Structure 1
């Protein structure tokens, strides 16, 4: 398989061929001299728009600095022509200088947000304009500088400025530039640029440094803009500061948006627009800025992707042939079950060892005393409830802890790992997947796998195709992730992690969100890696499937390892079992119920899907007024989805939600979602404004809610939410929900990340609300905690209601524990009872 296909070469040749045809028409005198001059200017602008559009479309960087690079090339040409420079020296000097300055801007801007990149490029443009005006010995200042002839050092003759020869050169260079861009589309350069733009963290995990990609993209783009400046000087014959103003910067952005950022034909459309927009404005009798503004607004409103993408979609809709839709159910050929290889011998070399690794984020200890080891061919499972530190641990292995401070020692094949950059760990042989399958949305399935290589060879393509066949993705190789269900995203994430045959494979919740068939296929892939001798570290909450492929299990809770053992025995450890099921604290007894309470809300046959992922299935649930319902399940069981449906923020895919017309529901989301830069009082006020509460009513509601808060928070109403502890933030999040005076309060993971003392305080305050008659739904991972604080408990397992009952029932907790881990539990016939 060739790296550059014949089809792509044929497409790349279209640009130069079109340029040659246009030059032939120009030389035949068919076009009037003035129009021929406009064609030359349009060719110059095509190169310039191409440089801006590909930077925006491929790297996600919008630059205001390109008029400065455009001017740089023009002044190099003018200055060189009057100082006996050769044409080749002018081009090399202009392009080289532009590339160096572009690389500087790209690397500096990569550390900031898009807004700061825009400001940085704006500052560069303003400084450049000032230099153009003040450096009169080189630029001629406001008077400008004439362009003379340029002689070729290679014996190609002399190029006279402001003549037909210069116009031909401009058209030829534009055609060649388009051809080069066509060749770049299937290259690793474009794929890695798009990957870094689409998902910087996932890009780092496959060895792509977003900062380096930004610098490279800006350098190439600036080089093309400088080349366009050389062409402008040749075609016009005179260089002055006027054409390179900030007006040109905004016009360039408008031209890119109009044509279609990142498209090649869009650059031609944008170049024509910049050339003939002044004539069009004059013909309709409006100032050019007004016309450009109207065109840009119209394009953003009606053609947000640009003219060329719109016409492309229209053509595909009109002329495309019917194709068979590849269903998500298409699977690789069935195989006989492959037994898990035995664990490696104790003498097998260790691939990875962590000793007392700790990670802190400010004052928060996310991981402490993390010590694990894994040998070649061994699969180590890491389990624990949400917030136990599992993902932090694997982020340490892949170097993606962000602002966290890492201490301790990590050894990979005996060498220190912690000081190795994240982007270098892929080359060491470490591959990883992500919990939510962080694929690159703007790359095809095949390109998602190929982008892991700096230079793509025929062998790399063959290996990528082989991986797609192994993972059941070959039939969708040319599709984009948005066209595929979630299960195929998971497979793609795995294929990308396996692209360079890692020695250590890290899988973050690979079984989550998959159906039974997909989980079986994934297990086979893991077994294949074990047979190859790959060390595998897996995090997951789907314990049955996890234990089926694991050799050894380490359990974490509150950021620390609490147990280690074989898959079939680890849950016998009381500490491990307690970390999942929890222990009920000493809480005030709930107000009794007599069974006559009216229903506040009913769910009948509710199911919900996200794309191809089934989050809930067949949920029948009645919530009575004044009751506390605990909804329990492992991470990914469907609790948050159920909470959003109960709240009314999410409409179920199927089934029916019926609530009393006067019921007011409020949701406290997982993670609290406070506005960290706002004060405690401002967080409460935002909630009141959203509920339409203002003026005196707002002040009264603030006073009332503040009384519910502990004294230490009432005295700190002006403190930013970010300055509160995790437990205090949770209490504030509940108080924010109370500002609307709800009848039904849904609290998602109220104990997440809190110390035991703060858990008791939060639950104590929720108990007070229950005594005041509020209906409460607790979404919890801890069965023991939910049982101690609820009238009834529902256990969810993989989106279905496995069991429901009252904690007072002596047999219920045993059935609930079984349902929690393996889903085996029958919902009693009274499950639909209010």
Structure 2
């Protein structure tokens, strides 16, 4: 049984209570008849605006179809009244037809972006209004159709139109509609609609189908719009095409924005605005569209959330003038787990993968993945960036998207690959995300409760206990945006645990957490192991990952390359090579002249994104004319360091010092090319950004084109999307060269490239270095960096673990250790020596 609190009931009762008071006032004659008519009309528009308002605010769908649905209800009532239909048949028929059409629009529109949904609903309105205008035998065409009385089949009497009785009915129905919306606000229906709107992929992982939610939301909204049309016919007494033009659709959107999208009281403000805007425009002597445009622009500029949210914030500020966010309590004083419970020898096999492969067009992201997990066992998946780890997790949770999946997967004896993503939650599979994809418009408690189709007292009690167990009970009524990153991660975990899954999938849960938070998370994983939950986990924080894992599978280039226990897996040369790269022959590097000084220096640099520490205490000097490699696993802070060296990101703390006339260029990870532009146009865009025009632009184009390999020079007019990955990387470097930088920073130059293309990219970077350019390479592969750089810096969890010259015979061994655990064993080695 659903739980409705007394507070919610009291709020819902306000609508009918206000309607009853207004009806009494109308009946007493306190309001003049011409104003009483406007009150009835405002009630009609309140129901109509409510239907659009909640659809936009809760489901994220802005509809232009509602004038047609509004007209449907009105014509249904007028036609029915002239053909002896009862009041009940009219109401049920109008709302039923509206709901059916709304469900169709919602289901069809769910496949498209907001722009295409707007075009779809616009086309629906244009066609519907044209049909209504031409179907003269039913609608009366341009002449309209008069509304007559409606008899109740249930013996409730006769309802006459265009009178005080119709006005009372409209006010009463508006009050009931507001009450229904207020009761729906704390319900699972609203939570699941908001979840599907906020993050469709995360919603699927907890069993919510965004397409079904869109269809349901549109169906309910359309039913309310059709009901408003029935009320309009009763209050006005006559139905013609004039009120249902496309201008009404624009006015409805303006009314929603003005009142506040998703706010129940916003519908009242919007209804009043639609009713009295014509009168206000006439009184000030301007055209109604002009007044509506001014009001809409003013609302967007000064009250972007709407009148109701603004008044709500103002009231809270007056009640709590000095209210601040309460401090976050420290994590529970728990010690790190001393031992990981082993699964019972007789524990059944819960999951088995056999030769699973995933392809995206011509890209093979996963190949030959075969592994198994028993109940109570934790399987860790490791590998460098791009190894296929997240793709594997997406296969398990059904979130591969446009990828083509082959092979076999069985979960608890069922064929998993043929099961929809939304159904896997019901099978007992829970999932977290790398970046803690929480639902921002739901509170912490609602983020957990939205996993249920209906909310009962038992569900709410279980949610409270779950939030206590992960240390979130004190922020249950807060929104995710008010929480630090560590609590975001806990909330993501709590949502995954909400229905006690048998298989828990964790995507980089330790990333971005401090030591105390990692200890808390490790204890939570051990608790799940103790209750028999199987866990599949990936992470780049190997120490914490291995502390909770029973077995480890290593991936590289989408294929499993090794399997073993946490204490021995890194001893496998294939695993070390996948992370560190092969130590190739050092290429020819330019001689460095120490007298030339530094190109850029960092002193005590820290940087944080919200609650995530990306860099800490970084001191780094990049000498002029040198090639410096910054090496580390994914998440070590390389990209952040590159942006700070480039100068486009200011450090949270510390100082960047650069030579006064230093010119820098950054080639970002993933290349960030303009794929639809040609090679030449990509280069020209970079030149324009650097302020280069005319003859200088032509000279630089020719100079840069000479640097490109012949096969690219011959295709300068083709789109960049037609190049291979390696060719795109070379083009991205060439685009950076258009600024003639003194310092070139290249982020992951070898990512996703074949060995032959890696060699070519590095050869061209070496050529730039020999021509005198200072180069910083941000790399995962220690071996590649060691073969191409004068100096290598190893980052580990945002700090410099070790730095040195690859020519030093002891450096590579020290760097390998620091790469994985952040420790530099040079002092130990020196003491032993």
TM-fit CA distance, 1:697: 2.2
Question: 1:653 — aligned with what?
Answer: 652
Question: 2:830 — aligned with what?
Answer: none
Q: Residue 803 of structure 1 contacts residue 826 of structure 1 at CA under 8 Å; is this kept in 2?
A: no
* Correspondences of 1:201-350 after superposition (within 5 Å): 201-320=201-320, 325-334=325-334, 337=337, 339-345=339-345, 347-350=346-349
Distance 2:651 2:395 in 1: 38
Q: Check if 1:32 corresponds to 2:27.
A: no
Question: 2:700 — aligned with what?
Answer: 701
* Correspondences of 1:429-828 after superposition (within 5 Å): 429-586=428-585, 588-825=587-824
TM-fit CA distance, 1:698: 2.0
* Correspondences of 1:33-72 after superposition (within 5 Å): 33-72=33-72
TM-fit CA distance, 1:350: 1.0
Distance 1:336 1:618 in 2: 26
- 1:776–1:328 CA distance, 2 compared to 1 (3 A): farther
Question: 1:166 — aligned with what?
Answer: 166
Q: Residue 585 of structure 1 contacts residue 760 of structure 1 at CA under 8 Å; is this kept in 2?
A: no
Higher alpha-carbon deviation: 297-306 or 692-701: 692-701
Q: Residue 207 of structure 2 contacts residue 426 of structure 2 at CA under 8 Å; is this kept in 1?
A: yes
Structure 2 counterpart SS, 1:596: helix
Distance 2:195 2:738 in 1: 43
Question: 1:832 — aligned with what?
Answer: none
Distance 2:331 2:506 in 1: 21
Question: 2:389 — aligned with what?
Answer: 390
TM-fit CA distance, 1:332: 3.1
Distance 2:671 2:705 in 1: 18
* Deviations 1:412-447 (CA, angstroms, capped at 9, x unpaired): 112211111111111111111001111111111111
Question: 2:120 — aligned with what?
Answer: 120
Distance 2:121 2:332 in 1: 50
Q: Residue 334 of structure 2 contacts residue 519 of structure 2 at CA under 8 Å; is this kept in 1?
A: no
* Deviations 1:215-243 (CA, angstroms, capped at 9, x unpaired): 01100110100000000000000000110
TM-fit CA distance, 1:12: 0.5
Q: How many residues align?
A: 827
Higher alpha-carbon deviation: 786-795 or 67-76: 786-795
Q: Residue 45 of structure 1 contacts residue 271 of structure 1 at CA under 8 Å; is this kept in 2?
A: yes
Q: Check if 1:18 corresponds to 2:18.
A: yes
Structure 1 counterpart SS, 2:596: coil
Runs of 4+ with >6 A deviation: none
Higher alpha-carbon deviation: 61-70 or 782-791: 782-791
Question: 1:831 — aligned with what?
Answer: none
Distance 1:456 1:827 in 2: 59
TM-fit CA distance, 1:2: 6.8
* Deviations 1:243-296 (CA, angstroms, capped at 9, x unpaired): 000000000000100111111111111110000000011111110001101111
- 1:36–1:141 CA distance, 2 compared to 1 (3 A): same
TM-fit CA distance, 1:689: 1.7
- 1:563–1:728 CA distance, 2 compared to 1 (3 A): same
Structure 1 counterpart SS, 2:746: strand
Structure 1 counterpart SS, 2:595: coil
Question: 2:93 — aligned with what?
Answer: 93
Q: Which segments of 5 or more consecutive residues in structure 1 lack a partner in the other structure?
A: 829-834
Structure 2 counterpart SS, 1:536: strand
Distance 2:98 2:676 in 1: 40
Q: Residue 336 of structure 2 contacts residue 519 of structure 2 at CA under 8 Å; is this kept in 1?
A: no
> Structure 2 length as normaliser, TM-score?
0.98
Distance 1:695 1:183 in 2: 66
- Report the RMSD for the aligned CA atoms in angstroms: 1.4
Structure 1 counterpart SS, 2:355: strand
Q: Residue 390 of structure 1 contacts residue 556 of structure 1 at CA under 8 Å; is this kept in 2?
A: yes
TM-fit CA distance, 1:338: 5.2
Distance 1:737 1:443 in 2: 43
Structure 1 counterpart SS, 2:63: coil
